[in-house]
Chains A and B, each alone.
Chain A
């Protein structure tokens, strides 16, 4: 499992989003940010720098 966001970074993100949390809420949500960090690591696979972002349907190769 990935590490959650650090507390300073998490606090900055919540402040930017305008979300005000109690201490226990903040720690619970921060801990869950580890899942997102894990997902973010998983989608960073080696690929050419010019690889385009996804579209819903892959174009058919002629």
Chain B
């Protein structure tokens, strides 16, 4: 069975040309067969998934689907708590953690009818990876299993790219949805900070953490996001505002939209590969031809965002892990425990100076957002690198394109913009103003439709 998109699957369920039970069964079979090579899953929940699929099928046959995702096979990054199913953060530290409750987003997707096939690989606690000394191996990139998936939502990116789930949860603190989205060639949105609940999600850095979806298409991301937005009084970061409609206008086009290309990010601050530049240019052309007005945005240097962002991320992560580091240091993988040890060297004054800098950087970006509706830049410098080249200190050794919008809290989407000469995906990043998630999805959908790359799937090794 060719993997449908979520939109196609729902149409098939409604027309009774596609069976939720057969789809879930097929996805599970392929996922289990592929897992010894791609390692996207760390745990399957076959029995519960098949039972849920049977119930979904009965509802569709009766013409009474329970919600907008009824029967859709998904899976959750293993930092999302799942009632009765271990939630480990891909770490030895939480091997025995069996939550009593679902995370808020897990519950919301379940209520929408989505069917979880299991738990997905992640970098340890969303920061330590790719690591080979954890209880499970790191996920591999389905486009080339010798390559890195990006992280930390590595299993989600890999599983969606492999077509064994139609969507999944990720989290993004410095780029952890957008990087695997870019390197695995799938769509992923880091929603506006505060739009989606983090209740029941293992934290990394509270002032940067966001939950969000990855899926094969931007429209599918919108469907998944729609089922996870809304105020949650149990999450202190949750914005108390009405849940937006992020799906309804997705096909409305970009005519008149003001798009600011942050050229200095990807041409000067961190020059991208020629192929990546080509993908960016193609996305710009697609937007221009669809009626968008293209200009050039100037922000502070990428390095300035990364300096503040990494100080904040490291310090907040250290604060969370400090008690375990004292007693269970050797239970962490080498990458995470040593990154957290470096984080311990950040002083209180360093942290506050970083927050002051954040305030200034946010003001600079806000000024540009008066001129533009959407910012456009790379999501990654180029194609996925060989996994063994990913070093312990890679995050600190150079800037990334994603951290700026964790600092500002803005919604940021990755969409595939093309392929490298080696046939690996190249992700373009679109960024909107705070709570303009629908607009970002609309622009991403327009790019995706114009470029028509969605039919190209990875050739899987098994």
Docked-complex contact A58 and B366, CB < 8 angstroms: yes
- Which of A33, A35, A45 has a CB less than 8 Å from the CB of B357? A45
> With A and B bound together, what is the CA distance between A58 and B355 in angstroms?
12
Docked-complex contact B359 and A55, CB < 8 angstroms: yes
Of B181-189, B302-310, B376-384, the stretch lying at the interface with chain A is B302-310
- Which of B311, B345, B363, B392 has a CB less than 8 Å from the CB of A43? B311
Interface size in chain A (residues, C-beta < 8 A): 34
Interface-centre pick from A13, A40, A47 (highest chain B CB count, 10 A): A40
Interface mask (A39-62 → B, CB under 8 Å = 1, otherwise 0): 110111101000111111110100
Docked-complex contact A29 and B353, CB < 8 angstroms: no
- Tell me which residues across on chain A come within 8 A of B358, comparing CB atoms: 53-54
Evaluate whether A57 and B307 lie within 8 angstroms (CB atoms) in the complex, with A19-B325, A43-B357, A52-B356 already known. Answer: no
Interface residues of A in 4-62 (CB under 8 A from B): 5, 10, 13-14, 16-21, 25, 28-29, 32-33, 35-36, 38-40, 42-45, 47, 51-58, 60
> With A and B bound together, what is the CA distance between A39 and B357 in angstroms?
11
- Tell me which residues across on chain A come within 8 A of B362, comparing CB atoms: 54-58
B163 to chain A, nearest CB (A): 36
Interface-centre pick from A43, A44, A45, A57 (highest chain B CB count, 10 A): A43
- Tell me which residues across on chain B come within 8 A of A21, comparing CB atoms: 341
A39 to chain B, nearest CB (A): 4
Evaluate whether A54 and B356 lie within 8 angstroms (CB atoms) in the complex, with A19-B325, A33-B345, A43-B350 already known. Answer: yes
Size band of the B side of the interface?
A: 35 or more
Which A residue sits closest to B303, measured CB to CB? A42
Docked-complex contact B354 and A43, CB < 8 angstroms: yes
B392 to chain A, nearest CB (A): 8
- Tell me which residues across on chain A come within 8 A of B343, comparing CB atoms: 36
Docked-complex contact B307 and A38, CB < 8 angstroms: yes
Whether, in the assembled complex, B241 has its beta carbon less than 8 Å from a beta carbon of chain A, the answer is no
- Tell me which residues across on chain B come within 8 A of A25, comparing CB atoms: 338
Docked-complex contact B341 and A19, CB < 8 angstroms: yes
Docked-complex contact A18 and B338, CB < 8 angstroms: no
A19 to chain B, nearest CB (A): 5
Which B residue sits closest to A56, measured CB to CB? B409
- Tell me which residues across on chain A come within 8 A of B350, comparing CB atoms: 36, 39-40, 43
Docked-complex contact A17 and B322, CB < 8 angstroms: yes
Docked-complex contact A32 and B325, CB < 8 angstroms: no
Docked-complex contact A53 and B322, CB < 8 angstroms: no
Docked-complex contact A43 and B353, CB < 8 angstroms: yes
Evaluate whether A19 and B344 lie within 8 angstroms (CB atoms) in the complex, with A28-B338, A29-B338 already known. Answer: yes
B208 to chain A, nearest CB (A): 9
Interface-centre pick from B329, B344, B407 (highest chain A CB count, 10 A): B344
> With A and B bound together, what is the CA distance between A17 and B363 in angstroms?
35
Docked-complex contact B359 and A51, CB < 8 angstroms: yes
> With A and B bound together, what is the CA distance between A38 and B409 in angstroms?
24
Docked-complex contact A32 and B342, CB < 8 angstroms: yes
Evaluate whether A43 and B307 lie within 8 angstroms (CB atoms) in the complex, with A25-B338, A29-B342, A32-B338 already known. Answer: yes
Assuming A18-B325, A56-B193, A56-B362, what are 13 further A-B pairs, CB within 8 angstroms? A19-B325, A19-B326, A20-B329, A35-B393, A35-B397, A39-B310, A39-B311, A43-B354, A45-B357, A47-B360, A51-B359, A54-B308, A58-B359
Residues of A at the B interface (CB closer than 8 Å) are 5, 10, 13-14, 16-21, 25, 28-29, 32-33, 35-36, 38-40, 42-45, 47, 51-58, 60
